[in-house]
Amino acid sequence: GEDVEQSLFLSVREGDSSVINCTYTDSSSTYLYWYKQEPGAGLQLLTYIFSNMDMKQDQRLTVLLNKKDKHLSLRIADTQTGDSAIYFCAESIDMRFGAGTRLTVKP
Amino acid sequence: NAGVTQTPKFQVLKTGQSMTLQCAQDMNHEYMSWYRQDPGMGLRLIHYSVGAGITDQGEVPNGYNVSRSTTEDFPLRLLSAAPSQTSVYFCASSYPGQGGHEQFFGPGTRLTVL
B57-89 confidence digits (pLDDT tens): 999 999 999 999 999 999 999 999 999 999 999
Q: Is A64 on the interface with B (CB under 8 A)?
A: no
Predicted local confidence at residue A11, as pLDDT: 97
B108 to chain A, closest Cα gap in Å: 6
B97: number of Cβ within 10 Å: 8
Cα(B35)–Cα(B52) distance, rounded to whole angstroms? 19
A45-67 confidence digits (pLDDT tens): 999 998 888 999 999 999 999 99
Which carries the bigger pLDDT value, residue B50 or residue A28?
Answer: B50
Would you say B91 and B77 are in contact if contact means Cβ atoms under 8 Å apart? no
Predicted local confidence at residue B54, as pLDDT: 94
The chain-wide mean pLDDT, for chain B, equals: 92
Using CA coordinates, name the residue in chain A closest to B96: A92
B4, B40, B106 ranked by CB distance to A99: nearest: B40
| Interface size between A and B, measured as CB pairs under 8 A | 58
B102 to chain A, closest Cα gap in Å: 7
What is the average pLDDT across A31-38?
93
Chain B residues with CB-CB distance to A45 below 8 A: 99, 102-104
Predicted local confidence at residue B101, as pLDDT: 67
| DSSP-assigned beta bridge partners for residue A90 | A33, A97
B41, B59, B105 ranked by CB distance to A42: nearest: B105
Predicted local confidence at residue B40, as pLDDT: 78
Secondary-structure percent of chain B, ordered helix, strand, coil, rounded to 5: 5, 60, 40
Has residue B98 got a pLDDT over 70? no
R_g (Cα) of chain A, nearest Å: 13
Using CA coordinates, name the residue in chain B closest to A87: B42
Using CA coordinates, name the residue in chain B closest to A97: B43
Assign B96 a pLDDT band (cuts: 50, 70, 90). Answer: low
Cα(B44)–Cα(B94) distance, rounded to whole angstroms? 17
pLDDT over 90, % of chain A: 71
Among A residues 69-98, those touching chain B with beta carbons less than 8 Å apart: 88, 92, 94-98
Cα(A98)–Cα(A10) distance, rounded to whole angstroms? 15
3 state SS for chain A:
CCCEEECCEEEEECCCCEEEEEEECCCCCCEEEEEEECCCCCEEEEEEEECCCCEEEECCEEEEEECCCCEEEEEECCCCHHHCEEEEEEECCCCEECCCEEEEEEC
Question: Among B81, B92, B87, B108, which Cα is nearest to B17's?
Answer: B81
Q: Phi-psi bin for A65: left (phi > 0), alpha (psi -120 to 50), beta?
A: beta
Assign A30 a pLDDT band (cuts: 50, 70, 90). Answer: confident
Cα–Cα distances in Å, from A79 out to A10, A39, A48, B52?
A: 12, 18, 19, 42
Chain B residues with CB-CB distance to A43 below 8 A: 43, 90, 92, 103, 105
A59-103 confidence digits (pLDDT tens): 999 999 999 999 999 999 999 999 999 999 998 877 789 999 999
